[in-house]
Structures are given as C-alpha cells and as structure tokens.
Amino acid sequence: MNNFNAREFRNALGCFATGIAIMTTRDADGRFIGITVNSFASVSLEPPLVSFCLDRNANSLSGFLAAPHFGVNVLSEGQELLSAAFARSSSGDKFVGIAFEVGDTGCPFLADCLTHLECAREAVHDAGDHLIVVGRVLRLAQRAEGRPLLYFRGRYARLDEAQG
C-alpha cells in the first residue's frame, strides 16, 4: 500500500522538469489529430526509437492506435498557447488557424518548433492508466537556434528560470 496519494505523487513528479511536445497523426478518415505531452523520451539510438505516453481516456487514443505513423513536434519557448490548445480535451479540429506542413507519412508538423521527428509506430505497451507508444524515427528536422518550452512544478517555465 502507498503512503502517498495521487496529488502527492503528481507533485513529486512535477519536480522533474520536462520539455513539451505535441504528437500528431492522421486518422483513417484523413482527420489530423494532435495532443500535448511531456512524457516524450528517447529510447534507442540504434535503431532510432522514441516513446511517449498516451492516456487511455484521451479522445485521440483510437486515432493514434490506428495510425501507422506519428509526428513529434518539440516546442520552443513562446509556444505556450500552442501547447495549451493541443492539451485541451476537444473533439473539434485543433489545427484550425495553426500553421503546419504535412510530412511524407501524412502527419502534420507544426511551424516554429525546435525539432520535428517523423515516426513509424513500432510498438504499444500497457502501462497502467496510460499506453507507451514506441516509434522508429524515419526523418527529422531541427532548428539550429532556439530554446525549449519547459514544464516544471505544474506550470510552464523557461530555461533561464529553471536554472535559479
């Protein structure tokens, strides 16, 4: 039995500063799907694998599970509004009014991000109330300059703020 509750656990995990990414894909009907995550991680260099965690209750769950590909958009500082827009639980089109390009696999890639990774879904693993989605990186692009958007203790942070 745990000697802590869910809020205490969440607060403890919030002490680990993370970057923020928006995962994107296209469902079987051709509709673009996107969700904000801070659970993105590198898994392997050879082969090039990455992962992210997807809540079992997410509206986008079935779309991501059915799609053979997904995109990773690593956000840069100043993209808080974009992060918040894709974090909302909504069945509406989150891409309306958002600048993006479509990659070779049909996944949308958002403008002004630090890095884009185009991935083929490699595996999905059961992990409690989430699923761990693993993808093989097929293509990538990155900006030479820029700073990341961070999340720390339940709020957005900037690199210079986190160093204090």
Percent of the chain at pLDDT > 70 equals: 96
What mean pLDDT is predicted for residues 92-118?
94
Per the CB < 8 A criterion, the answer to whether 69 and 106 are in contact is: yes
What mean pLDDT is predicted for residues 99-107?
95
Task: Give me the pLDDT at residue 51, please.
Answer: 98
Distance of CA 146 to the CA centre of its chain: 18
What mean pLDDT is predicted for residues 93-122?
95
Task: Give me the pLDDT at residue 16, please.
Answer: 86
Mean pLDDT (the chain) is: 92
Per the CB < 8 A criterion, the answer to whether 12 and 2 are in contact is: no
Task: Give me the pLDDT at residue 91, please.
Answer: 64
As beta bridge partners, residue 42 has 50
Task: Give me the pLDDT at residue 162, please.
Answer: 45
Dist. CA 30–CA 114, nearest whole Å = 26
Task: Give me the pLDDT at residue 157, please.
Answer: 86
Residues 6 or more apart in contact with residue 130 via CB below 8 angstroms: 39, 53, 54, 55, 56
Ordered by where they begin, the domains of the chain are 17-155 (2.30.110.10)
Dist. CA 90–CA 110, nearest whole Å = 18
